[in-house]
Amino acid sequence: MMDTHGGAGVHGRETGGRRKDITLLFVEDELNDVFFVRRALRHLDPTYHVQTVRNGEYAVNYLSGTGHYRNRQHYPLPAMVLLDLNPPVTRNFKLLEWIHQQPQSQSLPAVVFSASALEADRKQAMRLGASDYFVKPKDTSGVSDLLASVRSRFLRHDPAGGEAG
């Protein structure tokens, strides 16, 4: 569930004294999508903590550690950004561009998860630094399958418990 600042979830703590959780930042304004993505990721790996922000402005604040997101123990840099491109698409294109202009996030995977199947949107996202572009599946099993694919491509988990990569 999103809080009043547009974010949710906590990462960076040791779980059971052994394993570090992996933070993912999900930029999404549709609560149903937030619910299904969180649920699918929790089933894939319970160490994933999804920080959710509802728009690009909150994402910039989160990634730059400003305002509400200053405390990196509560809001650590994510291992990946999962980004919706719902209207207004141009704002989230600007977010993609911003992510890859910042020294601290240039190598951060930014995966677009969008309702738009337009080839022009996909090409623009990739040109601006998206790591990949996926059209949102219409059913929950499709969401789970897609996120499993994203995980295998962009997130590795160290058997000792920490994030690798």
Q: What is the pLDDT of residues 84-143, one digit of tens each?
A: 887 566 678 999 999 999 988 889 999 999 888 999 999 999 999 999 999 999 888 899
* Predicted local confidence at residue 88, as pLDDT: 62
Q: Which residues pair with 137 in a beta bridge?
A: none
Residue 58 has pLDDT above 70, yes or no: yes
Of 20-34, 61-75, 79-93, 113-127, give the lowest mean pLDDT range: 79-93
Pick the CATH number of 14-154 from 3.40.50.300, 3.40.50.2300, 3.20.20.140, 3.40.1710.10: 3.40.50.2300
Say if residue 8's pLDDT is above 70. Answer: no
Tens digit of pLDDT for each residue in 91-106? 789 999 999 999 888 8
Q: Where are the domains of the chain?
A: 14-154
Alpha carbon separation from 157 to 20, 74, 119, 153 (Å, rounded): 10, 21, 32, 11
- Rounded to 10 degrees, the C-alpha dihedral 90/91/97/101 comes to 150
**Where do we find the tokens 């491109």?**
85
- Which of 5-19, 21-35, 119-133, 142-156 has the lowest average pLDDT? 5-19
